[in-house]
Amino acid sequence: MKHSRNNNVILGGGITGLSAGYVSKLPIYEANDIAGGICTSYYMRKGEKKRLSEPPKDAESYHFEIGGGHWIFGGDPSIIQFIQNHSPFKRYSRKASIYLPEKNIFIPYPIQNNLYYLDKKSSAKVVDEIINVKVTEYKILTMSKWLKINFGQTLCNIFFHPFHKLYTANLYHKIAPQDPHKSPINMKEIMNGLRGKANPAGYNTTFIYPEHGLDSLMRSLEKECNINYGKKVVKIDIKKKIIKFSDSTTIGYNKIISTLPLNKMIQMTGIKIGEEPHPSPAVLVINIGAKKGPKCPDDQWVYIPNSNTKFHRVGFYSNIDTSFLPKSNRKKNDRTSIYVEKAYPENSKPNKKEIEEICQKTIKELQEWGWIDEVDVYDPTWIETAYTWSWPNSSWKEKALKELEKNGIYQIGRYGRWIFQGIADSIKDGLMVGGAFT
């Protein structure tokens, strides 16, 4: 079969791919049958298992997202305006906490700025350790060591180490430090927090979310794009410049804009880097619609260092906006729409029976905490590449990106470039790179 090599194409129809396709008008090839990637919204009626791609006309459904809550923070004013043009949004102020089950207490996030909530002996010890930190010259600086250097052993024992053990699927003592903006260090705010007067801190103190859900933003962009659905890439022949899909079809290409995970692209192209790929733990996201329990938090999300089921975060969609609830429950606000996240090592997906058992154990634990009561609906999703961590002193990412570029493949977006960024920056990536191919 002859293939045209004059085609430039986009791989992946998530928010970055849609943005690139919107401005470039290049064809997009998406593995799923709907756009949006892990930011895809869907809807479920009480007691039903079927996912609806749009809310039913009577609005009697829970609103969930494939990868858990994705809120839009930061971003250039021009990108925020771009979002506004496609989907009007609301602004929100963050309310997040750390929950310590063994003590049954909530501590506002970030914990280092809210030491007032700890007992006086512990809080005094934490401050002493932060002030009098002794930095050792480590040949290899890992996340666990970085946390200890900055926050001291006491606070690491209480929160940082057990939380990151769960969050990173036990990689925190091996991977490099990352995203320091998520755990800001400011002695003035730490001291204010001892008196219970902490100011909001961190990267997402305020955020926005489309009034009609992320799917409204996706659909608006989708209308302006040329998307080919059901096209999962399985192999890329960089010599013949041919892309092979799981349905056995192939296309030729000239250049590729790829939003697919960097490690997967290296595998599919067969390029040899000579270094171990950076790790990418998976996550099981369990969406739950339920009656509120007597102790249901009013936080938008809660970080949990110790849970019997080993989940590390619970987000409350409906604490951000009641539109995530069935219409008949919005005024009463007697229900809650939540997502639970549990991380796993790469290539360790549980089977269907094991996932069901995890769902039941998670529901039971949340009921024991009093956060939820009877469950109306629950729905798990497996995200194989959920996090992008790095090995210390490794140049794998830089080499991988460079080798792909040599072969006419340009990686963009959070997973494509292997970098933490939010939706706003992903849109910016797509528009900039897509514009270069117009």
DSSP calls for 325-344: S-HHHHTTT-EEEEEEEEEE
Residue 399's contacts (CB-CB under 8 Å, 6 or more residues apart) are 273, 274, 275
Phi, psi (deg, nearest 5) at residue 298: -100, 10
Q: In what order do the strands lie in the sheet with 409-411?
A: 226-228, 27-29, 8-11, 255-258, 409-411
Three-state secondary-structure class, residue 411: strand
Do residues 101 and 192 lie in contact, with contact meaning Cβ atoms separated by under 8 Å?
no
With 0-12 / 13-18 / 19 or more C-beta atoms within 10 angstroms meaning exposed / middle / buried, residue 87 is buried
Give every residue of the chain whose pLDDT is below 50, as ranges. 1-2
The Cβ of residue 13 has, within 10 Å, a number of other Cβ atoms equal to 29
Amino acid found at 85? N
Residue 199 contacts by C-beta under 8 Å, 6 or more apart in sequence? 113, 189, 192
Give tens-digit pLDDT for 207-253.
Answer: 999 998 899 999 999 999 999 999 999 999 999 999 999 999 999 99
DSSP three-state, residue 83? helix
What are 185's two structure tokens?
Answer: 């260090």
Q: What is the rounded distance in angstroms from the CA atom of residue 325 to the CA atom of residue 317?
A: 9
Question: Distance (Å, rounded) from C-alpha 399 to C-alpha 260?
Answer: 17
Residues 185 and 10: beta-carbon distance below 8 Å: no
pLDDT of residue 197: 83
Least Cα distance to 43 among 214, 293, 296, 284 occurs for 214
The two beta strands, 409-411 and 255-258, are parallel
Model pTM score: 0.94
Q: What is the DSSP letter of 348?
A: -
How many Å apart are CA 337 and CA 64, to the nearest integer? 8
Judge whether 18 and 225 are in contact, CB under 8 Å: yes
Per-residue confidence (pLDDT) for residue 364, from 0 to 100: 98
Structure tokens at 188: 């003035």
What pLDDT digit, counting tens, does each position of 297-354 carry?
A: 999 999 999 999 999 999 999 999 999 999 999 999 999 999 999 999 999 999 999 9
Element (H, E) at 73: none
pLDDT of 75: 83
CA atoms within 13 A on the CB side of 430: 33
Amino acid at 168: T
* Cβ pair 389, 173 in contact under 8 A: no
CB 6: neighbour CB atoms within 10 A?
9
The angle subtended at Cα 190 by Cα 188 and Cα 192, nearest 5°, is 70
- Check if the beta carbon of residue 243 is closer than 8 Å to that of residue 253: yes
Tokens of 302: 């809660």
